[in-house]
Amino acid sequence: GESVGLHLPTLSVQEGDNSIINCAYSNSASDYFIWYKQESGKGPQFIIDIRSNMDKRQGQRVTVLLNKTVKHLSLQIAATQPGDSAVYFCADVMTGNQFYFGTGTSLTVIP
């Protein structure tokens, strides 16, 4: 079956530094990837997405990189702020519209 994993369960960064959260996926048929942020007591919130025909996509302070050769996805957060502290999930969507989520990386921003 599909598996989506994150390389590190926890990540601590200094405020102002850049954060990089990584994710690996297993199915070559995945054609759409999403990063979500989940704060305590809330549901996941969409951050940014990328299609399989792209290598990079930028948003406000966030960049997603997709390496299809090694089935790897990363989320880069520039100038990390305390409000960025949360659990981050990657998800991939295969044909059939099923979303597969990783277990999440908990990001802690140190003031």
Partner 1 sequence: KAGVTQTPRYLIKTRGQQVTLSCSPISGHRSVSWYQQTPGQGLQFLFEYFSETQRNKGNFPGRFSGRQFSNSRSEMNVSTLELGDSALYLCASSIAGGSGYEQYFGPGTRLTVT
Query: Which residues form the interface with partner 1 (CB under 8 A)?
Result: 1, 31-32, 34, 36, 41-46, 49, 51, 89, 91, 93, 96-104
How near is the Cβ of 50 to partner 1 at its closest, in Å? 11
CB atoms within 10 A of CB 46: 10
Q: Cβ closer to partner 1: 16 or 59?
A: 59
* β-bridge partners, 5: 24
Q: Cβ closer to partner 1: 79 or 99?
A: 99
CB atoms within 10 A of CB 84: 19
| CA 111 – CA 23 distance, rounded (Å) | 26
Q: Cβ closer to partner 1: 34 or 109?
A: 34
